[in-house]
Amino acid sequence: MSIVDNEKEIIEDFDLFSDWEDKYEYIISLGRELPLISDQYKTEEHLVRGCQSRVWLHAEKQGANIVFTADSDAIITKGIIALLVKVLSNQPAIEVAKTDLDFINKIGLKEHLSPNRSNGLVSMIQKMKTYAAAYSAK
């Protein structure tokens, strides 16, 4: 599935819920399902700067695609990074680097986050795009 297909799937999933309490529960469940990042990547080098919580993000290139693994010490933040991993992992690095991630606005995520979490979301996206740009340049 493409990034656009993954975004459509998330939008459809969020449309199933009528209020943000249920949507937060869904985000939390995504965080619980996120495959664990290897302990070797829980380092300062892999921390996402700009997040109130601790978020570790690792990327590696597999063929033309980039594969992300991540973790966080905060349950909602872990769910947010899980959303991003779900959309961007196993995609061509060049596509990850240039995507706009329209689903974030379409599901209303940014407007339902505290300013600190919103800044963290932007930092996570920037780090993922930075990894992708570096891998697509190689």
| Residues with catalytic roles | 51
Cβ burial 4-36 (10 Å sphere, 16+ → b, else e): eebbeebeeebeeeeeeeebeebbbebbeebee
Q: Which amino acid, residue 119? A: N
60 has which bridge partners? 67
- Number of alpha carbons in the 13 Å side-chain half-sphere of residue 40: 1
Closest CA to 55 of 132, 138, 122, 137: 122
CA distances from 32 to 28, 76, 94, 97 (A): 6, 10, 29, 26
